[in-house]
Chain A
């Protein structure tokens, strides 16, 4: 398999997968009636965005942005044998994942309280506030 084709296939799989995750997730948020399902869908969307971000930072045949002793030879000077992938998206995604966790956790706590209050997890039945 040639390098070009591989790149093509990889780009389609990564971009396609993340796009599909985002769209499926949004679809879930918009159509599922169960509160927990909605939050599950939101985590799926989050995963999609994260995957997209990381795959944008990827460089073909790059290595992880960690300087290992083999490369280093114990010297301060850094030797680069292979290009390193972009570390910034990784750092940002790290943050994004934790934020997503926080939001999901708060959302689930709200779900528990809503369930105690309304005795249901159907979003259509939780409509005390309207108009």
Chain B
């Protein structure tokens, strides 16, 4: 009964939404602000990948927020699944299980640097080719995931993660504030823009994207590590 009602409700919503969407012509040029972006990205910023210039520069504030969201997610998961340090070694059965087979271990060892390299490539060339900080960061995080899964006792040094996280985050926000200090706007480019399609082009965009890459990689690795190292026994009560 409830399901039928829900289906009816959704049918109504679907009808209205479809009614709207099919009125928007598909595949037609209706750009307004984007034209400016497509014009300014290669000409003013000397950045080949317009998406990157939008993400990092024109709408860099969004990206700062986005990085914050990831940071928040990592903090949130840490807070929700918080463990005391002392019992950290008492890992769950999954982590206490025997290691993966030798073949997997060795291939993981070989794959890991390649994956990290790929990730680094992706975020270093974010302003030239598709991809960038997020994608590269996620790729690196999957590399660490490989190790975490393969070597059950492998654990990432939280201290170094914290450092990377903090430095990368501060680089991003700090570059923004540096612009302010130099008398420009927040996140405004204050470096020479270089030649388009060179690695060193786009001024601060490249630097920021590298910082984002490190940040994302460390956040996601942290998240994965937290989630993989959950202890099973029941939680201790805290009262307010």
Contacts and interface: CB of A to CB of B under 8 A. Distances in A.
Instruction: Return the 8 tightest CB-CB contacts between A and B, nearest first.
Output: A11-B26, A102-B73, A60-B27, A65-B50, A91-B54, A87-B50, A109-B80, A109-B77
Given A99-B66, A102-B70, A88 B34 contact: yes
Nearest to A15: B21
A21 B235 CA distance: 38
A58 B10 CA distance: 27
Given A19-B21, A30-B6, A98-B134, A66 B27 contact: no
Interface in A29-58: 30-31, 52, 55-58
Of the four ranges (under 10, 10 to 19, 20 to 34, 35 or more), the interface on chain B belongs to: 35 or more
Nearest to A30: B6
Contacts, number: 149
Interface of B: 2-3, 6-7, 10, 13-14, 17-18, 21-22, 24-31, 33-34, 37-38, 41-43, 46, 48-51, 54-55, 59, 62-63, 65-66, 69-70, 72-73, 76-77, 80-81, 129-130, 134, 195-197, 223, 227, 230, 234-235
Interface of A: 7, 10-12, 14-16, 19, 22-23, 26-27, 30-31, 52, 55-60, 62, 64-69, 72, 74, 76, 78, 83-84, 86-88, 90-92, 94-95, 98-99, 101-103, 105-106, 108-110, 112-113, 116-117
